[in-house]
Amino acid sequence: MELTKEMLRHLAKLSRLDEGAAMGMENDLNRILEDMKILESIDISGVDLLTVKEAVSLRPDMVKPSFDRELLLSCAPETDGEGYFVPKAVE
Amino acid sequence: MKSNIFITQVPTEGTKRLAVKDNICTKGVRTTAGSRILEHFVPPYSATAVDRLMAAGWSLCGKTNMDEFGMGSTGETSFFGATVNPVDPSRVAGGSSSGSAAAVALGLCDAALGTDTGGSIRQPAAYCGVTGFKPSYGAVSRWGLIAYASSLDQIGPIGKTAEDCYQVLRDMCGQDERDMTSRALPADFLPEGLNGEVKGLRVGMPRECFGGGLDSEVEAAVRACGAKFSDLGAEVSDCSMPSFSAAVAAYYVIACAEASSNLSRYDGVKYGFRGEGFENLNEMYVNTRDQGFGSEVQRRILLGTFVLSSGYYDAYYKRASAVREVIRREFARLFEEYDLLLMPTTPTVAPRLGESLSDPATMYKADLYTVPVNLAGLPAISVPCGVNRDGLPIGAQLIGGFMKDGLVLNAAYGFQQGGGAK
């Protein structure tokens, strides 16, 4: 499997990364993928990934105080004190 | 040359000084994950591990440098500059817990926290000549750990000795209701104290771990470690681990897939760096991530996105997950016959600065001894077992069965009390 420039453009779009930077990684990524061919040599018959092996432990379903809004918003680049400011998403 | 050990130093008068890797949240103290995208991020809460350690009398002395988001094996991908090796400053400290390992080696703290997703505690410990322990998956809460690969990440201790690691682990381990992957620990998880008794322990040395590509001085030092365990009364013998060769490939598929998902939260909206020069929302996302992430992080996100994408998911991610289960079963079979496995931590001593990053495919292969442990969720420790002709440290790795953390620490303690590295 070789990544093409077209595929890299698509992957960059999915990842919200710069297309030019992605296409500059074509050779490195293809070398890495070449090394992954070894996965095909391992016998995986008898492995059932869909069977749940053990139950996860759950905590009691109780309402607890939420996080302090002001403290959370203080981490953000731009807010109005109630929500986050971003460029318009819908025209 | 700057050592670049700490990203943020914290003055303390405390006697139990703890350095904390900078991907572990500390309330009110900047936490960057070694990245520009979190350069000015101050967490509104501390990780559970940090809270428990502070309550046990440890005091924070600083946040240590690391490969960006844990992605790296040399310490060189940090936005804040590479941490140099304390023994030879022309070489790397290892990664991704580079600053934590170097800080312990130089006595700048009494112990440190690192994190280990594919070897990031054990490998820098080996390169810096200190002891680094990765707990069983689920033994230490990941609440407050900035995620790289959630099914692989674990917080763990780095110290001069196994005893130091034991004390840190004892103070922070245990189930946490805020981390559903954390587990109730079995009664024999950790002993009341370490006694170093190794007599009668069955130690296996997988022959696949001593093949081509292993530096001859590293091999000699690790085999000498095996001989030492024999002298101390352990039963040491060869064993086999056929799926070992596929572990690196399985690891990088799974880790990058999880990273591509985990790092999608860095979008310039709720916290962290916001990029410049955008005219709409999508450009804000792209500019933020292009300007905020380094190239190794971007490479792994792209790889992860690819292996999860339509048409390739079955061939890559699903197959890697199945290979992971094969590896886990192989370990489980070995631990029916052995108490511990012994192998090198790394195939070479610390490489020189600047040698590794230009060839990521080759750099990834150097993780061959450490990543199988993360895939199976097992406990493992790297202990110093000698130096090469240039005085560079060599680490030997002991691996135990799931939740046998106490046994691993005790065996390492026994080795170190019995004379350890010569």
The string of pLDDT tens digits covering residues B322-379 is: 999 999 999 999 999 999 999 999 999 999 999 888 888 888 888 999 999 999 999 9
pLDDT tens readout for residues A15-30: 999 999 999 999 999 9
Between A65 and B408, name the one with better pLDDT.
B408
- Out of B96, B141, B182, B356, which one is annotated catalytic? B96
pLDDT tens readout for residues B90-143: 999 999 999 999 999 999 999 999 999 999 999 999 999 999 999 999 999 999
**Is residue B407 scored above 80 in pLDDT?**
yes
**Is residue B32 scored above 90 in pLDDT?**
yes
Residues of A in contact with B243 (CB under 8 A): 42
From the list A7, A18, A38, the residue facing B290 with the nearest CB is A18
- Three-state SS annotation for B236-286: EEEECCHHHHHHHHHHHHHHHHHHHHHHHHCCCCCCCCCCCCCCCHHHHHH
Q: Tell me the average pLDDT across A45-71.
A: 85
From the list B260, B267, B271, the residue facing A75 with the nearest CB is B271
pLDDT tens readout for residues B150-184: 999 999 999 999 999 999 999 999 999 999 999 99
Q: What's the pTM value of the predicted model, to 2 decimals?
A: 0.97
- Stretch 174-193 of chain B: residues touching chain A, C-beta under 8 Å: 175, 177, 180-181, 183-184
Three-state DSSP at B319 gives helix
Question: Which tokens go with B344?
Answer: 């090198």
**Is residue B290 scored above 60 in pLDDT?**
yes
From the list A28, A47, A49, the residue facing B299 with the nearest CB is A28
Question: Which tokens go with B6?
Answer: 């700490």
CA distance B183 to B407: 18
Is A29 in contact with B299 (Cβ distance < 8 A)?
yes
Residue B120 is among the residues annotated as catalytic for this protein: yes
pLDDT at position B15 is 85
Residues of B in contact with A64 (CB under 8 A): none
Touching check for B313 and chain A: CB below 8 Å?
no
Is A36 in contact with B253 (Cβ distance < 8 A)?
yes
- Out of B120, B141, B243, B356, which one is annotated catalytic? B120
Mean pLDDT score of chain B: 96
Using CA coordinates, name the residue in chain A closest to B39: A75
pLDDT at position B422 is 56
Is A44 in contact with B42 (Cβ distance < 8 A)?
no
CA distance B131 to B160: 6
